[in-house]
């Protein structure tokens, strides 16, 4: 990526706002006198932009905490409710619209739905394999943000020849100082063969979740990811079969919650 292109893209990162589907509830929560930390945790866990920016702010606070912050709950404890509310308000679009499904360039709703399903699939997949709730949270965050680079490409308003969403995502990782497991997943989730770092299991779990959520039809790719995870394709598929309906239930619940703000 040449320097001019990098500058152009980087200058657009601060303009990435929260998603249309979450902006109504975000405005409601930030304007409510009765907002609790639980409301803010729930909200910020339902929008990849809010989550990414929240982690950025928490990790910048006091010159980076001793242990990196990688969950919405910890970030809100560190920052306090008013700071988080102010952050959310700064990320609200000027006009809160019901949805942008007709947007010709990019379907924001589909983006949200895909990110959500990959995040929950990766997280449930980790739990089914015996990982702790704390570890599963890392799988969730990496899954939720894996395609965040698409929002930056969308934000520039034009096609960026030769730049894919993994490259634009890398710029976001640098700008938001995202933790390495999130960064590695964003950069390598399509080129997992090139990766040999320490977050291989998270990266491959997100890659296989991405494949399953997309109902991919290249079986060789699926089997290759499973093999790298050290699992058989049959086992991965049976786990997915077990968790699929729970992911769909969580999706419906989240949509109902976000739409209950009345926007």
Tell me which residues touch Fe ion (CB under 5 A).
147, 210
Instruction: Name the residue with tokens 């990019």.
Output: 106
Residue with tokens 């308000």: 89
Q: 84 or 208, CB closer to Fe ion?
A: 208
- Give the nearest distance from C-beta 85 to Fe ion in angstroms: 30
CA diameter of the chain: 53
**Least distance from Fe ion to the Cβ atom of residue 189, Å:** 6
For helices 48-60 and 72-79, the axis angle rounded to 10 degrees is: 50
CA distance linking residue 51 with residue 75, whole number of Å: 9
Helix pair angle (233-259, 20-31), 10° resolution: 50
Radius of gyration of the chain (CA): 18
Instruction: Decide whether 28 or 144 has the Cβ nearer to Fe ion.
Output: 144
CB of 44 to Fe ion, least distance (A): 21
Backbone angles phi, psi at 131, to 5 degrees: -75, 155
Of 182, 148, 179, the closest CA to residue 166 belongs to 148
Task: For Fe ion, give the closer residue by CB, 147 or 179.
Answer: 147
Nearer to Fe ion among residue 141 and residue 210 (C-beta): 210
Beta carbon of residue 114, minimum distance to Fe ion (angstroms, whole number): 6
User: Is 24 or 48 the residue whose CB approaches Fe ion more closely?
Assistant: 48
CA dist 27 and 217 (Å) reads 40
Whether residue 155 contacts residue 116, with contact meaning beta carbons closer than 8 Å, is answered with no
Minimum CB–partner distance for residue 111 and Fe ion (Å): 9
- Nearest to Fe ion of 84, 187 (CB atom): 187
Residues 6 or more apart whose CB falls under 8 angstroms from that of 78 comprise 58, 61, 65, 69
Minimum Å gap between C-beta 125 and Fe ion is 15
């Amino acid at each position: 990526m040449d320097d001019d292109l990098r500058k152009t893209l980087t200058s657009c990162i601060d303009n990435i706002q929260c998603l249309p589907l979450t902006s109504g509830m975000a405005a409601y929560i930030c304007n409510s006198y009765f907002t609790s930390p639980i409301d803010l945790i729930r909200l910020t866990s339902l929008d990849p932009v809010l989550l990414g920016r929240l982690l950025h702010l928490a990790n910048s606070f006091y010159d980076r905490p001793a242990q990196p912050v990688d969950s919405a709950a910890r970030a809100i404890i560190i920052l306090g409710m008013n700071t988080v509310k102010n952050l959310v308000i700064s990320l609200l679009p000027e006009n809160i619209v019901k949805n942008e499904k007709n947007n010709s360039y990019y379907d924001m709703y589909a983006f949200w739905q895909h990110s959500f399903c990959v995040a929950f699939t990766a997280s449930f997949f980790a739990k089914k394999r015996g990982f702790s709730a704390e570890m599963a949270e890392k799988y969730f965050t990496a899954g939720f943000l894996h395609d965040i680079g698409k929002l930056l490409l969308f934000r520039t308003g034009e096609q960026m020849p030769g730049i894919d969403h993994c490259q634009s995502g890398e710029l976001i990782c640098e700008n938001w100082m995202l933790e390495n497991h999130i960064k590695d997943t964003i950069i390598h989730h399509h080129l997992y063969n090139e990766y040999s770092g320490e977050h291989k299991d998270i990266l491959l779990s997100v890659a296989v979740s991405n494949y399953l959520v997309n109902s991919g039809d290249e079986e060789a790719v699926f089997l290759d990811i499973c093999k790298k995870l050290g699992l058989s394709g049959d086992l991965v598929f049976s786990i997915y079969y077990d968790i699929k309906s729970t992911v769909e239930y969580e999706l419906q619940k989240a949509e109902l919650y976000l739409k209950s703000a009345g926007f």
